[in-house]
Structures are given as C-alpha cells and as structure tokens.
C-alpha cells in the first residue's frame, strides 16, 4: 500500500483554481521533492496532507487525498488529530517562546498526560534524530530563541519528530538558512528517510536531486511530470520539465 496518494485532486480558492487534476502516489520511507516556479501550487499540494489549507477562505477540493489508504478529507476525520500524526516544518524557523526542552515536548503535551519520563526520552531521541542533541544537551532549559537560525530550524524538526509522525511535510525548510546549516539538514534528511516518509517542497533543484527519491514538477497548478529522481533529472519526459530544469541549471 502506498503511504500517501492523491487521486485526481483539484483545488479551488473561491473561483481561482490552484490545482488541476493531480494524481500521484508515494511508498513509505521515501522522500518526494516538489519543485516548480513560484505560484505553481506545490505548497498548496503539500498542505493538502495535513489539511492546513482548511484555514484559507474559499478552499474547495475535489478528488481524494489518502494517507495509509484513508481518505483524510472524509467528514468523519478530525483534522486536529490528523495534524498530530503528520508533522510539518515551515520555511521560517518558528521556535515557541519556551525553553528548548519545552519546545520539543510541546506536541507530546498536547495529548493526554504522558508520564514525564517518557516525554524526556522522546525529547532526547528527537533531538538526536535532528542532529541537535550534542549542541544543546547541556542547555535544554535555555530559551529556544537563544539558538542560531540553523539550530532553530533543526529544533523545529526535532519538535515535529518528537510525536513520531507517520509523515513529515517540509515547506522549503532550508531556504532561509546559510549553506552550512542547509548541508547539515540535508544530511539528516537522508537518515530520517529510514524511519519516516517525507515530502519536501524546494526551489533548489540541486537539493531535490541530492536528497529525494522521487520528484514531482508542478507548473500553473498542473502536475507536469512525476518520476524517480534519477531518471527525472537525466532523462525528463516532458519538454516543459526539460526547459525548467535546464533553465535553472544553466
């Protein structure tokens, strides 16, 4: 079974159509990169999977969006619970005004009372998975805002990981960071793939080529091409894809 699936999905914001009949599927423990020019709908598509689009007025959807075979837009689905099972990392690091420890524990505390010992374990694991543990293990009580930009973004990743989501969504997670932090995060993504399924929006094609298993190219709300990354960049099928890739690479 596929981890996530989109079946003939079209999205409208009021009268403006943002996605046209998109279909794709992804197996678990793979990384999917969404690329395309700005405004092409890749962020909209990403946010379908944790229903963050629900907050935009006039949002309407046809088609099916499935995670683990379940239609997440069915009326019986609680969107809040969904978001606890799907993690999201945004472009700008958004540490909460708490300590480092409390930031990572935030998601854990939302649920019914977990024993403090368990929370401590999970926080430690999450920070390790996010490759941040060594840098913060001595100052867990310090405010999260005292960390550098790259560290804050890894903190946000740890925060998302702590609740053991089944799917992680990332919206241009490194575009606001310096090259060194970016490299560190790309490294950890390769590790994370072993335990998680990840969808990442990126405008950086080298990044997509480096880290992803599958790539999807969007333009003007249409899914132009979707395939294994290896083939995608060496032998794109669609002329549009070729034009976009060579344009950016050149």
Kindly list the residues in this chain that would bind other proteins in the complex (CB under 8 A).
50, 52, 55, 80-88, 90, 92, 94, 96-97, 106-107, 110, 156, 159-160, 163
CB of 82 to other proteins, least distance (A): 7
Paired strand residues for 65: 6
Nearer to other proteins, 156 or 245 (CB): 156
CB of 152 to other proteins, least distance (A): 11
Nearer to other proteins, 67 or 156 (CB): 156
Nearer to other proteins, 40 or 160 (CB): 160
222-228 and 214-219 beta bridge pairing: antiparallel
Nearer to other proteins, 25 or 77 (CB): 77
The CA distance from 216 to 203, in Å, is: 12
Paired strand residues for 214: 32, 228
CB of 196 to other proteins, least distance (A): 15
CB of 34 to other proteins, least distance (A): 17
59-67 and 4-13 beta bridge pairing: antiparallel
Q: Strands of 197-201's sheet, edge to edge?
A: 70-71, 59-67, 4-13, 16-26, 222-228, 214-219, 31-35, 197-201, 167-171, 86-89
First-to-last alpha carbon distance for the chain, in angstroms, is 39
CB of 92 to other proteins, least distance (A): 6
CB of 103 to other proteins, least distance (A): 10
Nearer to other proteins, 64 or 85 (CB): 85
Nearer to other proteins, 81 or 195 (CB): 81
Residue 164 burial by Cβ neighbours in a 10 Å radius (0-12, 13-18, 19+) = middle
CB of 110 to other proteins, least distance (A): 5
Question: 6 and 67 in contact (C-beta within 8 Å)?
Answer: no
3-class DSSP string for 147-197: CCHHHHHHHHHHHHHCCCCCEEEEECCCCCCCHHHHHHHHHHHHHHCCCCE
Paired strand residues for 7: 64
Nearer to other proteins, 11 or 86 (CB): 86
Taking the CA of residue 219 as centre, how many other CA atoms within 13 Å lie in the half-sphere pointing to its CB?
Answer: 12
């Amino acid at each position: 079974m596929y981890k996530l699936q989109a079946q003939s999905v079209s999205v409208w914001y009021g009268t403006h159509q943002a996605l046209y009949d998109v279909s794709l599927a992804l197996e678990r423990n793979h990384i999917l990169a969404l690329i395309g020019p700005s405004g092409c709908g890749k962020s909209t598509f990403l946010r379908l999977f944790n229903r963050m689009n629900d907050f935009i007025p006039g949002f309407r959807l046809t088609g099916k969006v499935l995670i683990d075979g379940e239609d997440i837009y069915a009326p019986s689905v609680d969107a809040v619970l969904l978001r606890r099972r799907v993690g999201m990392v945004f472009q700008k690091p958004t540490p909460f005004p708490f300590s480092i420890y409390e930031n990572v524990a935030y998601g854990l505390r939302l649920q019914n009372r977990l024993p403090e010992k368990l929370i401590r374990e999970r926080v430690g694991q999450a920070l390790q998975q996010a490759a941040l543990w060594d840098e913060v293990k001595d100052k867990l009580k310090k405010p999260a805002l005292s960390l550098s930009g790259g560290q804050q973004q890894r903190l946000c990743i740890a925060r998302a990981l702590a609740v053991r989501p089944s799917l992680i969504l990332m919206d241009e997670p490194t575009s606001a960071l310096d090259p060194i932090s970016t490299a560190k995060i790309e490294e950890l993504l390769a590790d994370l793939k072993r335990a998680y399924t990840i969808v990442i929006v990126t405008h950086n094609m080298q990044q997509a080529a480096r880290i992803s298993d599958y790539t999807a190219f969007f333009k003007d709300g249409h899914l132009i091409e979707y395939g294994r990354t290896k083939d995608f960049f060496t032998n794109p099928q669609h002329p549009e894809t070729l034009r976009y890739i060579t344009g950016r690479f050149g």
